[in-house]
Amino acid sequence: MSSDQTSGVPWTSRSDAVAKRIEERISEQNLPAGHHLGTKESLRQEFNVAVATVNEAVRLLSSRGTIEVRPGIGGGLFVASPTLVVRLGRKMLELSGESVSVADSLDIRDGLEPLVIRDATKHRTEADIADLRKILEQMSAAGDAAQYLKTNWQLHRRMAEISPNLILRNLYLGLLDFVSSRVSAVTTETALNGDGVMVHRDLVDAIESGSRKRAETMAARHARLTASRR
């Protein structure tokens, strides 16, 4: 049994951590498009994680346009050649903390949020909803503000990944990555107070319902919650 199966750490948190380490490796080593990163099994052994964890990490990286999976002999995981919209999203990570504030990034992210929720409501699948509910369970079980906020980012990231609109998805995820990489700059003392989990649970219910009107109502409610915690 892999060590992450007994650590008590949510598997989505572990997969996100693995994905982040791979992204950092690509960036720090300036790995070119087409560079062979290995296979799922080699990465599973390297990071000492379960199969489900590495599969989710690969799914995350593929959805972000960071890697591509090539099947067959000589296949495996390779650094992807980023499309224009992926490069546009990544530009957010290159912004200096001195030139762009977390508050400014959150303002833009909040402006895109209704579009993300609209697309999630229109295109969600049963698997998407199942993933969102798993993350909600982790939010409910969060023992401190930092863990709550981390699972909050994961929930919104997963919602954005439902959208087929590559421009929207990559802009939103780029902003979200920018903010979450500077999470220490965000006030978290009140993150566990109020009705945060309930609002997000109702939001997922609205997305699952497929009702655009209901989703718009919950998007507005979520916006008020976000504004109150700035």
* Fold match between domain 3-79 and domain 84-228: no
Instruction: Encode pLDDT of 50-86 as tens digits.
Output: 999 999 999 989 887 889 999 888 889 999 876 555 5
Helix extents (H) in 7-74: 11-28, 40-47, 51-63
**Structure confidence at residue 129 (pLDDT):** 95
- The domain segmentation of the chain, as residue ranges, is 3-79, 84-228
Give me the residue label for tokens 């579009």. 115
Label residue 65 exposed, middle or buried (CB < 10 Å: 0-12, 13-18, 19+): buried
**Structure confidence at residue 9 (pLDDT):** 47
Low-confidence ranges of the chain (pLDDT < 70): 1-12, 82-102, 182-194, 227-230
**Structure confidence at residue 188 (pLDDT):** 45
Contact 140, 197 (CB under 8 A): yes
- 107 C-beta neighbours (distance < 10 Å), count: 12
Structure tokens at 180: 């979450």
Angle, helices 51-63 vs 40-47, to 10°: value is 120
* Domain covering 84-228 in this structure, CATH number: 1.20.120.530
d(CA 187, CA 79): 35
Query: Does the predicted TM-score (pTM) go above 0.95?
Result: no
Class at the top of the CATH hierarchy for domain 3-79 = mainly alpha
| Sign of the alpha-carbon dihedral angle for 211, 216, 220, 225 | positive
Contact 193, 229 (CB under 8 A): no
d(CA 35, CA 31): 6
**Structure confidence at residue 174 (pLDDT):** 80
